[in-house]
Amino acid sequence: MGGNYWYPDGCGVDERQRECAAVGDAVASLLDASAFAHRRKILIGFSQGGYLSYRLVKVHPTLFNAAILLSPSFMGEEQAALDSTTRFFLAYGAQDRTIPLPDQQTAHQVLERAGHLTYREYSGMAHAICDEEIADIRHFLRAI
């Protein structure tokens, strides 16, 4: 998959999950090496990268210590169950019109059911990243 995305816009849930699995398996195989055995492994992704980070934890539930998901779409994950001790930081802009509100709510619900969730919403922010969010991420990382 070339360009600035992990899966094509407008693709179906199955295709999106397949594309994420291909990337995720490559990343997980690198991180599963003995050189990384005693290191913290933390994912961070914005938009499609946030969804990719979630899928990595879903498929490899014991590999990652934390995942920072910034404005991900969770379309098609409404019934998802996540069995992982990974800590999650999930954030959206209150003015995000790129990710539909139902997808945002699904992400919040799926990760809240899994436990270990820190959730933030930033007023006035669209599908972007702001300074306040970066400060909150720093605080989250210091706490884990």
Summarize pLDDT for 104-125 with one digit per residue, the tens. 999 999 999 998 999 999 999 9
The predicted pLDDT at position 2 comes to 45
Largest CA distance in the chain: 44
Q: Domain segments of the chain: what residues?
A: 13-143
Contact 19, 6 (CB under 8 A): yes
CATH 3.40.50.720 for domain 13-143: no
pTM of the model: 0.86
Residue 91 has pLDDT above 50, yes or no: yes
In whole angstroms, what is the distance from residue 122 CA to residue 66 CA? 21
At 80 the pLDDT is: 84
**Which is nearest to 20 in space by CA: 53, 68, 63, 67?**
53
* pLDDT value at 1 more than 60: no
- Which range is least confidently modeled, 17-21, 80-84, 87-91? 17-21
Q: Is the pLDDT of residue 93 over 90?
A: yes
